[in-house]
Amino acid sequence: MNYEVDPYTVYLDKHAEVGVWCSMPAALSTFEIKPRPPKIHVHVRDTTESLKRIDKDFAAISAVYSTRQCLFSNDSTIRVDITPPAAFDFVCALEAHQEMGSIDCSRCGHPHLDLGDFGKTPHRKHFCANCGRDSTWSKGPIISTPLQPMHDRTATHLTCLLPNRSLNLDDYRGHSYTVWASTPAIVWTASRPQEYGIHVHVHDGQDRVIDDTFGEVILNGKALVREELLRAMIDRTIV
């Protein structure tokens, strides 16, 4: 097991835009892609027009939100720790269109988190990792995660738009590149929809000349398929 002491804290109400994603290894690159555990990627803007104040990966984060949002039955809960295993299972469940929800333990009231095999298949009986009780039942089969209410309540625009932009990597012969399938944000407080497509970095030496998400990316004369890129990323992720 891994532990993160004093994880980075992001205050969702103090910035114009906060985005939180599960960071996975790239799908394609001119560089060597090494399998690795997932991480938590955060970007923060203080205004909608400003450059990103934060744009980096963390081992784990703690997200703090306003008490008026009341995400859980315990009104005093205003913080959700987002760890890589929870983020990875959440994104995989979103992509697989699995039924998710958030249920509290019937004994201790702690929000329940399904991980591993339990985070892949919806079920009704839930084992509490906080107190050990195994008789909490949901009304229907779900994957329970406290990330679900945070995702739903902080996402001002849950709509994901396919960008009307195209990139032909064949036009950048001699440049280095790295390609990811974009994934849904776990937290998205921006007032604009998320872009859902293929994210690409292109470097000319040390200079990054492209850092954007595209609706179509061509490589070796063929259009890349987002679902295939995502599968490559998942397969390289160590959990």
Give Cα 162 distance to the centre of its chain: 17
Stated pTM of the model: 0.89
For Cα atoms 46, 47, 51, give the angle at the middle one, nearest 5 degrees: 75
Per the CB < 8 A criterion, the answer to whether 173 and 30 are in contact is: no
Question: Which of 30-39, 157-166, 183-192: highest mean pLDDT?
Answer: 30-39
Centre a 10 Å sphere on the Cβ of residue 31 and count the other Cβ atoms it contains: 10
Strands 61-64 and 8-11, by their bridges, are parallel
Q: Per-residue pLDDT tens for 21-80?
A: 999 999 999 999 999 999 999 999 999 889 899 999 999 999 988 755 566 555 556 788
Burial of 73 (0-12, 13-18, 19+ CB in 10 A): exposed
Centre a 10 Å sphere on the Cβ of residue 191 and count the other Cβ atoms it contains: 9
Per the CB < 8 A criterion, the answer to whether 161 and 195 are in contact is: yes
Query: Which DSSP string do the residues of 2-63 spell out, in sequence order?
Result: ---SS-EEEEGGGSSEEEEEEE---SEESS----B--EEEEEEESSTTSPPSEEEEES-EEE
Pull the structure tokens for residue 46: 């203080």
Q: Per-residue pLDDT tens for 89-127?
A: 999 999 999 999 999 888 888 889 999 999 999 999 999
Paired residues of 191 in beta bridges: none
